[in-house]
Amino acid sequence: MTRRVIASFVALACLTACGGGGGKGSLPPAASAPQTKEIGTATFSLKLPGKNTMTKVRRPYYQSQATQGVGIDWTSSNPASPDYAAAISATCPGTLPAGVTSCSIDANGDTDYSFQLQIPGGTYDNFTVTTFDTGPVDCTQTGSCTFTGNELAQGQVAAPVAITAGASNTIPSLTFYGIPATVSFVAGPAQSHVVTYGGNLAVIGDMPQSFFVQAEDADGFLISSSDTGAPTITVTESAGDSPQHFTVASVSSNEYTLTAVDGSANATIDATATPGGTGLAAVTNAVTVTPVQELWTSQELGNLPDGIFGYPLYGGSSPGGAVDIYDDPIPNPLCNAVSTNCSFYNAAIDPSSKTIYATFINGSDDIPGVYAFTQESGTQGLVPQSSAAYNGAAGDDYDSMAIDSQHHGFLIDTDSGVVSLEAYSTASNGWSQITTSSAEALGTATSVAVAPTASNVPSALVGTVWVGLSGGGLLVYPAFSGTLTSTPATVSAGPTYAVGFDSAGDLWITDENDVYIYRVSGTATAPSISELGSASLADSPYIGASFGAAANQEMWFGEGVGLGEGFDFYQATCSSTCTIASSRGVLQPNVGSWAAFVTP
C-alpha cells in the first residue's frame, strides 16, 4: 500500500492577504520572520491519495486513512511545532480549518485540500510539509500549535523558497519521503515457505526462498517501495553472527532471497530502512531466521485422491499444516491417459539436488513408475516432471526407495515374487537402470536406506546402502560404484519392516511390534551394529515404509492401513544408551499413510 503523500503547489493570482483565519496561518513571531514583515500569499494544494490510486502491496493498508493533521514549516526547525498547523483527514471535514479554502474528493477517490497561507516576504532555506496521525493541539490565535502524534510523511523543497511580499508566489513542488518506524519481514506473493513463527522468520524446506522487507510507518501502514520518496532498504546477515548461515541477495527494491550456507544454527538478519529526507532517521530491525525441516509423506488412498504432502516440523510432535502438496486428480495426468487412478507409495529426496521422487502405480494397467518433483521458491505446491522419470514393467512393485548424494536411486522391486534391489542413475531426473541384484538367501527385501554424512557414521560407511529383510537381519552394500555386492548383518529386531538413518547417523529399524535404534561402525564389508534402545510400537508400520529423520534424532513412519491411520513420531534421547519416546503424529488421517522423509 502506498505510504506516500503527494503534494503539488499551484500559484494563484491572489494579491491580497487571503485565508489565515483563527489558529495558525497568521504571521509567525516577529523574531522569526526573515528580512521583512510584509506578507506574501502562498496558495497550494495537498493531495491525500485514496484507495483507487494506492499501490496495493500484500495488504489493503493506505496511509491516507491515518492522516489527521498537517504541519507546514518555513522558519521552524521542529516539525511538531510548525509555523502552520491544521486538522485534516482523508475524508473532507464539514468545517474547514483556518488556512484551508476548499476540500474535495476527486473521481479517483483522492482527497484534495487547497491552502492559502500568509507568509512574510523573504527567502527560506527550508520549506517542509509534514503529515501526522493526530490533529494539532494547544492552538490559540496568537499562540503556537503543536503535534503530539507520529509523523507519517514529510515533503521537502530541494532549493530555498523565495516569497515576494504583496504578491502570489509559486512554490516549487515538494518530494515527499515516507517516515519509517519499523521494518517488517513478510513472505513474498503466494510464498508459503517463509513464515513468521515464534517471533522468528521460519524458512521451511529447501533453499533458496524469497521474502519481502518493507518499511512501516508509526501506525503500521506499509510504505510502498515503488513510491517516490520511499526509504532505501538494505538487508544483511548480522556481522556478529558467525559463522554466516545464509547469504542474502536483493531481487528487487523490497524482495530478497535467502540461500543457506549451512543448515545448522539460526542466523540474525538485519534490515535497515533509510529515508531520503534530510534529517529523517534510519531504523533497523533484526530477526532470527530459523531453518525448518519439512516432513514429506506419500499416501495411497484407494479411490480417494493420492499424493505427496509436505509439512513443516517446527518442533514437538505435531507438524504444521501442509505447505507443499501434489494431490492426485482423477484422472491423473501423470499416469497414462486411460488411467482413472494413480496410487502413490514411496517417496525420497535427492540430498544434493533436492529433487523429490515418488513411486506410483498406474491403476488402469498396474504399471509402476517414478516421477520427479521440484519445489519452486515463492509458490505453494510441487512442479511434477511432465513425463515419468522412469516407467517400470507390468508386475513390478516398488516397495521402498532411497537416494544417495551421488544421484543414485535404489528401489526394492518385487516382481512376481522375485525380490531385487535395483540401482539407477537419476541424472537430469530421468532415471536409467544401472544394475540389479537379488536379495540373496536371507529373506525378502522390504526397505532400503542410505547411510548419510553424519556425526555417528564413520567415513567408511558414508553412502553405504542398507536393506532390511522380512526374514530378519540386514544386507549392507558398499557406497555405490556400479555394482551391488552385499554383506549380511544381524540385529536384535525381528522381521524388518523398515530401516532408516536419523540426522545423527544412527540406524532405526521397525519390526511388527517394536522400534529399535542402533549405532553403526566398521566398514561396508565388516559392519558392526550395536543396539542403543528400543520401544513398543503404537501401531504396526507398513512393510517397506520409508523413515523420515528430523534434526534431533526423530523418526516418522507410516503406520498400518485403515481409516484414521497416519504417521507415528518417535524421538530418541541418547548417551551411552537411548530412550525412545513416542507420541502420535498429527497428520491427515487417511487410508494408506505410507512413506515419509524429511528434507536435509
Report, as an integer, the average pLDDT of 393-402. 80
Report, as an integer, the average pLDDT of 243-271. 83
- pLDDT tens-place string over residues 26-68: 333 333 444 446 899 888 777 776 555 444 443 334 455 688 8
- pLDDT tens-place string over residues 321-361: 778 877 765 445 556 544 556 677 788 888 888 888 888 87
Please give the residue that has the higher pLDDT: either 427 or 316.
427
Rg (alpha carbons) of the chain, rounded to whole number: 34
Give the H/E segment covering residue 289.
strand 283-292
Average pLDDT, the chain: 77
Max mean pLDDT among 27-36, 252-261, 294-303, 375-384 falls in: 252-261
From residue 66, alpha-carbon distances to 62, 152, 217, 230, 431 in Å are 8, 8, 10, 17, 59
Cell numbers standing for residue 591: 487410508
From residue 338, alpha-carbon distances to 183, 230, 359, 366, 376 in Å are 54, 56, 19, 12, 29
* Residue 600 confidence (pLDDT) above 70: no
Report, as an integer, the average pLDDT of 388-392. 82
- pLDDT tens-place string over residues 362-381: 766 677 888 888 876 555 56
In the chain the first and final C-alpha atoms are separated, in Å, by: 37
- Between CA 156 and CA 75 the distance in angstroms is 13
- pLDDT tens-place string over residues 581-591: 876 555 654 54
| Sign of the CA dihedral running 439, 440, 446, 448 | negative
What does the pLDDT read at residue 16? 27
From residue 244, alpha-carbon distances to 285, 291, 377 in Å are 18, 13, 21
- pLDDT tens-place string over residues 514-557: 889 999 999 999 999 999 999 887 777 666 666 666 666 777 77
Strand pairing class (246-250; 255-260):
antiparallel
Please give the residue that has the higher pLDDT: either 598 or 160.
160
CB 27 within 8 A of CB 116: no
Find the angle CA(369)-CA(375)-CA(379) to the nearest 5 degrees: 135
Find the angle CA(260)-CA(265)-CA(270) to the nearest 5 degrees: 70
CB 393 within 8 A of CB 436: no
Report DSSP letters for 433-458, one per residue. Answer: EEEEEE-GGG--EEEEEE--S-TTS-
From residue 506, alpha-carbon distances to 36, 271, 455, 529 in Å are 87, 40, 9, 10
Q: Which of 374, 380, 341 is nearest to 357 (CA)?
A: 374
Q: For residue 587, what are the β-bridge partners?
A: none
The dihedral region occupied by 407, where left means phi > 0, alpha psi between -120 and 50, and beta the remainder, is left
Q: In the Cβ-directed half-sphere of 546, how many Cα atoms lie within 13 Å?
A: 31
What does the pLDDT read at residue 416? 60
Strand pairing class (578-585; 593-598):
unpaired
CB 40 within 8 A of CB 121: yes
- Between CA 313 and CA 305 the distance in angstroms is 24
CB 555 within 8 A of CB 548: yes
- pLDDT tens-place string over residues 75-119: 888 899 999 999 988 778 788 988 899 999 887 777 888 888 899
| Alpha-helical regions (H) of 308-430 | none
What does the pLDDT read at residue 25? 35
- pLDDT tens-place string over residues 163-183: 999 898 877 777 778 889 999
